[in-house]
Amino acid sequence: MDWPIAEVARMSGVTARTLRHYDEIGLLPPARIGTNGHRYYEELQLLRLQQILVLRALGLGLPEIGRVLAEQVDQVEALRGHHRRLLAERDRLDALAGAVSRTIAELEQSRKDGRPMTINRPENLFEGVTPAQYQETLRHFPEHAEAVARRVAQMSPHDVEAGQRERTAQMVRLAELMAAGHDVDAEPVQSEIDAQYQTLTALRTVTVDEYRALGRSCVDNDAWRAAYEAIAPGLAAYQRDAIKAYATTRLN
C-alpha cells in the first residue's frame, strides 16, 4: 500500500512543499513517482519521516538528521534512542514547568500577603534549564554560536550557571509582563528586550536582520519554542513580536 504526497502531508502535518524539499536533498525520497509526476510513499518512508520529525523536535538541523539516519543500522534500536531523548526532554520541560509554577504560586502569595517574595530553595528556580539548551538554539546562527562557545569556554562553571539563571529570569519577567497585559511595544517590555539585546551584542555585533531572525526562531525552533511555552503559553510568540518591535523602532 502507498499514499500520495497530499495524503502524507495531511497525516503528518508537514507541507507537500517540505516533503518535496526532503526528496530534493536526499533525506526522504518517495517509494515511487507515478506517471502523473506525483510522489507516493510506503510504510518504510512513513517510518523515516517519523524519525525526521522526532529529530527535528529534538532540535537537529536537516544536515545532522541526514547523518544520523545514514549512520543508523537497526531501525528499532534507533527509535529506542530517539524515544529515550524525547523522554529526557519531556522530563526537562516538566521540571522547568514545575519550577515556574512554584515561582508563580510564591509570587501570587507574596502579593496577596503584601510582603516581599521569599524563596525557600533558590536552586529550584532553575530546574530543567541547562546552558546547552541555550547554545542549541543558537546553532542556526553559526557566527554567534561560535562567539558564545568561545565565551563559555573562558567562563567558570559558576559564571555559566549565573548567566543561565539570568536568561531564565528574563523569560519569567517577560511572562509576567505578558500576563499583566502589556503590549509588545510597551516600554517595560522593550526595556527587557533591550537588556537581552545588549547581552547578545556583548559577544559580537548582531545585525538588524540577524536579530529579527533570532526573534523568529523563538517560534520556529522547536526546542526554543518548547522552553518558552513551558513557562507560559504564548510566550514564544510574545518574545518574537517584542523583538520585531524593538528591531523596527530602535535598530532601524
Which cell numbers in the block locate residue 176?
509576567
Whether residues 190 and 237 fall in one domain: yes
Whether residues 16 and 123 fall in one domain: no
Tell me which residue range forms the domain holding 120: 87-127
Q: In total, how many domains does the chain have?
A: 3
pLDDT at 149: 53
Domain with 58 in it: what CATH number? 1.10.1660.10
pLDDT at 127: 47
In this structure, the dihedral spanned by the alpha carbons of residues 176, 181, 185 and 187, taken in order and rounded to 10 degrees, is -60
Whole-number Å distance between alpha carbons of 84 and 198: 37
Whether residues 66 and 32 fall in one domain: yes
Q: What is the pLDDT of residues 220-249, one digit of tens each?
A: 887 778 878 877 889 999 999 999 999 999
Whether residues 199 and 245 fall in one domain: yes
Domain for residue 176, yes or no? yes
Domain with 235 in it: what CATH number? 1.10.490.50
Q: Which helix (H) or strand (E) holds 86?
A: helix 75-113
Whether residues 65 and 95 fall in one domain: no
Whether residues 219 and 173 fall in one domain: yes
Which cell numbers in the block locate residue 75?
531501525
Whole-number Å distance between alpha carbons of 99 and 89: 15
Confidence of residue 92 (pLDDT cuts 50, 70, 90): low
What's the predicted TM-score (pTM) here?
A: 0.47
pLDDT at 34: 92
Q: What is the pLDDT of residues 163-205, one digit of tens each?
A: 666 777 788 888 889 888 899 999 999 999 998 888 778 767 7
Domain for residue 209, yes or no? yes
Whole-number Å distance between alpha carbons of 74 and 207: 44
Whole-number average pLDDT of the chain: 77
Domain for residue 230, yes or no? yes
